[in-house]
């Protein structure tokens, strides 16, 4: 069954229609165009409806006049791949008709769209009379095929739709400040209901009588298509009471941003019920939640209530007294967000603190944190947006209280060398009471689910539980319990969590590794016995380079991840590897030295050239 409707020919804009057809068939004489035009059927299809089904018989060609289509290839196992978008002036379905082969992909309307339909029989009739048209059509197919093999279509969101329950003072202030931020990155056009009516010459006092007729839709779609083609970003804003306009803008969306004041009820609005339905258009379109706070005086509590029934790409807490939060959102929207991945490495990870301090001083914003094992400690404080002075104090206290001393050892280490109650108390003192989703900045914690035998990226729930799961090195600490699963150190499968970081919409990534590359002479052919080792230490020689049992276990557990470092760091825009080789994985007493090493190293690495590569390119000031 066809999901499109037939409409009368658009005769009022023949010059534009002719330019569309010319892109497909080449230059046409007046007689050729006059012969071709009556053969067209005109159709209209709503956003989200399916135009072409993969593997069906190819019986017609479509020319897109207004709107946008998306081609999707369905694999054998049911997975789908977005092949790319079809824009006004492009044909769809012509390859199957010319080659007399089944359709190679599904095609859906990504926008409310107007198309010209030309049947296969009509095309053959035309070809007999004007063979050059078929030749030009074949050339178009070949050119498009060559372009597709040379480059992959990267779908950068361009049409940004913001929906809100109402236009409150806080929402209006947010939109003004966000538009000012986005304007730095290129040509920005903004449309709310009042603006589009002014563009169409309709008095705003008549907006209540607007009807979604064909003429109105075509006029509006043409305006929006022209604006989108000439702008870097188009920002739409609609509220729940603007029914016609809301329906129009959600059909335009590349990505949705749902605006909520944090004090609002968490229930889905009428529009959200539509957006989070199984309708294909909305399933394929990313959705983000923006939670507005008047100020940042109090950390959010119970953000989970907003996330429960919403399938989101990300949620963003925005403190309206901090321009940095709106700037961060602007970087996410424009593909310029910066993420950082902190690797595991025991006490070597104290260098993460110095790296964080250096990045802040040098003006490198971090928009997303990910961490494994010791890397989660700074990840959590970074996500909570702890000031630098507090960050230093809190991390120093953690180093002083690290539960790896003899008094923390199990007398009968049947499950682990370190007592579970000590590590639990250690983490709870610093992080209990915080939830991952309540932090001001987004973050992720990598752990391994021992029960399910897989890597897990923790994005919600108690922060102390996420950290406890991520640092639970087998043999050193007992496994962590979350739900019905046992969790062990994330470093077993991803000690540098950069792949997990890149699961999120980031433009740049910083990777921080801690592994030792130092090589030294052992000085023995057989590993010394315990008495020989103790004698070497008591006499102060320290000539026997033998790691302790805890170091052997810790290093061995993450050995597999070390082999992946080269590939992982190639993904990063900046790789930081501070010289921490001489520090042992349990040398917590070297806090100040490690912080200084991390800071000095990062200060040297952040040259003007490196900073220029990391920071977003600002076009307008």
Tell me, yes or no, if 449 is annotated catalytic.
Answer: no
Catalytic-role residue among 489, 500, 561, 587: 489
Give the span between the Cα atoms of 587 and 596, in whole angstroms.
15
Report residue 221: phi and psi, to 5°.
Answer: -65, -40
HSE toward the beta carbon, residue 94, CA cutoff 13 A: 24
Residues 6+ apart with CB under 8 A from 358: 598, 599, 602, 603, 606
User: From its phi and psi, is residue 34 left (phi > 0), alpha (psi between -120 and 50) or beta?
Assistant: alpha
Could you tell me the CA-to-CA distances from 114 to 41, 49, 58, 221, 222 in Å, in that order?
Answer: 11, 13, 20, 9, 10
Could you tell me the CA-to-CA distances from 181 to 105, 328, 329 in Å, in that order?
Answer: 39, 9, 9
Give the span between the Cα atoms of 86 and 142, in whole angstroms.
16
Q: Which residue spans within 517-601 are E strands per DSSP?
A: 574-576
First-to-last C-alpha distance (Å) of the chain: 52
Rg (CA), the chain: 30
Q: Are 462 and 302 in contact (CB under 8 A)?
A: no
Cβ burial of 247 (10 Å; 0-12, 13-18, 19+) is middle
Tell me, yes or no, if 489 is annotated catalytic.
Answer: yes
Q: Are 73 and 81 in contact (CB under 8 A)?
A: yes
Q: Which of 385, 379, 381, 378 is nearest to 298 (CA)?
A: 385
Catalytic-role residue among 58, 95, 113, 373: 373
Catalogue the active-site residues.
373, 489
């Amino acid at each position: 069954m066809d999901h499109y409707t037939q409409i009368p020919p658009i005769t009022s804009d023949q010059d534009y229609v002719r330019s569309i057809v010319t892109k497909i068939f080449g230059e046409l004489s007046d007689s050729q165009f006059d012969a071709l035009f009556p053969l067209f059927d005109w159709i209209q299809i709503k956003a989200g409806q399916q135009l072409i089904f993969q593997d069906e018989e190819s019986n017609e060609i479509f020319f897109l006049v207004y709107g946008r289509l998306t081609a999707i290839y369905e694999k054998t196992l049911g997975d789908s791949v977005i092949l790319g978008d079809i824009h006004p002036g492009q044909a769809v379905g012509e390859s199957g008709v010319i080659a007399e082969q089944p359709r190679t992909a599904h095609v859906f309307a990504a926008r409310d769209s107007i198309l010209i339909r030309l049947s296969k029989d009509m095309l053959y009739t035309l070809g007999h009379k004007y063979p050059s048209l078929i030749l030009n059509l074949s050339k178009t197919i070949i050119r498009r095929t060559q372009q597709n093999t040379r480059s992959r279509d990267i779908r950068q969101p361009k049409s940004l739709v913001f929906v809100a329950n109402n236009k409150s003072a806080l929402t209006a202030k947010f939109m003004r400040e966000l538009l000012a931020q986005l304007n730095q990155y290129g040509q920005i056009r903004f449309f709310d209901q009042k603006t589009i009516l002014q563009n169409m010459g309709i008095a705003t006092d008549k907006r209540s009588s607007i009807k979604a007729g064909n003429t109105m839709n075509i006029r509006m779609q043409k305006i929006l298509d022209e604006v989108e083609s000439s702008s870097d970003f188009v920002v739409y804003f609609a509220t729940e009471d603007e029914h016609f306009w809301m329906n129009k803008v959600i059909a335009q969306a590349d990505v949705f941003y749902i605006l909520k004041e944090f004090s609002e009820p968490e229930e889905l609005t009428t529009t959200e019920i539509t957006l989070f339905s199984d309708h294909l258009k909305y399933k394929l379109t990313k959705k983000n939640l923006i939670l507005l706070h008047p100020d940042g005086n109090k950390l959010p509590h119970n953000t989970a209530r907003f996330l429960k029934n919403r399938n989101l790409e990300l949620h963003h807490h925005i403190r309206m007294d901090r321009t940095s939060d709106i700037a961060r959102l602007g970087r996410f929207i424009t593909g310029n967000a910066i993420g950082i991945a902190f690797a595991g490495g025991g006490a070597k990870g104290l260098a993460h603190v110095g790296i964080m301090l250096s990045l802040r001083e040098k003006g490198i914003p971090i928009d997303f944190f990910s961490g494994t094992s010791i890397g989660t400690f700074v990840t959590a404080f970074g996500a909570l947006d702890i000031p630098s002075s507090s960050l230093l104090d809190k991390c120093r206290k953690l180093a002083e209280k690290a539960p790896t001393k003899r008094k923390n050892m199990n007398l009968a280490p049947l499950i682990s060398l370190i007592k579970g109650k000590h590590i639990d108390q250690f983490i709870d003192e610093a992080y209990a009471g915080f939830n991952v989703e309540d932090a001001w900045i987004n973050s992720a914690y990598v752990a391994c689910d021992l029960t399910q035998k897989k890597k897990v990226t923790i994005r919600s729930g108690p922060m102390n539980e996420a950290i406890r799961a991520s640092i639970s090195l087998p043999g050193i600490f007992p496994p962590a319990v979350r739900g019905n699963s046992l969790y062990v150190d994330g470093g077993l499968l991803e000690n540098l969590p950069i792949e997990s970081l890149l699961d999120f919409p980031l433009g740049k990534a910083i990777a921080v590794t801690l592994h030792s590359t130092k090589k030294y002479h052992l000085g023995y052919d057989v590993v010394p016995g315990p008495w020989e080792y103790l004698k070497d230490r008591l006499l102060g020689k320290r000539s026997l380079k033998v790691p302790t049992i805890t170091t052997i276990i810790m290093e061995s557990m993450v050995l597999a991840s070390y082999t992946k470092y080269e590939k992982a760091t190639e993904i990063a825009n900046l790789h930081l590897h501070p010289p921490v080789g001489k520090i042992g994985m349990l040398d917590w007493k070297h806090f100040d030295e490690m912080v200084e090493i991390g800071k000095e190293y990062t200060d040297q690495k952040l040259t003007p050239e490196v900073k220029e590569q990391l920071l977003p390119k600002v076009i307008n000031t």
